[in-house]
Amino acid sequence: VDNLAVICCELGCWLMHISTDYVFDGNSTAPYLELDKTNPQGVYGHTKLDGELAIQSSGCKYLIIRTAWVFSEYGDNFLKTMLRLSETRDQLGIVNDQIGGPTPAAAIAAACYAIAGGLLSGSGGAGIYHFSGMPEVSWADFAAEIFAQSGRQVTITEILTQDYPTPAKRPLNSRLNCDSLKEQFGILRPDWRTGLEQLCKDIEVN
């Protein structure tokens, strides 16, 4: 990130960087604003915050987009994990006390494209912005919608975070206030259920 930011600074071009809700500790009871205090709880969050700070101190023209709960047909993500597990299991325990806005990767790409157009036309401005899908749900709710749209018969048992320990501490509150992106660039939060519906069709075809 440091080298890329320096190059962008030398060329006078914009740097668009994707960051994460993990820069926060997840203890807030409200959706996080861009200026809320950061307090990452793990290595991933710390490294993402370090990247943000390096970009901001580089002197380049930057736009940092924090997002959460990203899913797509590629790589490892919650959607693909649920579909894989449903092939061999008909009952799963899913966490229900972590809340966030699932975000289709395609929606992030579309937002970046729209932002780039806005910057070139002189609208919007540099800084940090939040972008995530709506409505906000728990992982259990997200899983239920995945199984419903993919036609998988899986019974979900709702559990607490403490019942499913992971190496990386996950925020209980991953909700992001996305009003600034709407105000500056006119970009609305995507309905993740629409993106999920298309992905389930694409995955089924492939």
Active-site residue set: 44
Tell me which H or E stretch contains 138.
strand 137-138
Paired tokens of 99: 């809340």
Q: State phi, psi for 170 to the nearest 5 degrees.
A: -100, 140
Burial class (CB in 10 A: 0-12, 13-18, 19+), 57: exposed
Are 3 and 11 contacting, i.e. CB atoms less than 8 angstroms apart? no
What DSSP designation does 135 have?
S
- Alpha-helical segments (H) within 12-138: 43-58, 78-86, 105-121
3-class DSSP state for residue 21? helix
- Measured in whole angstroms, the distance separating CA 108 from the mean position of its chain's CA atoms is 8
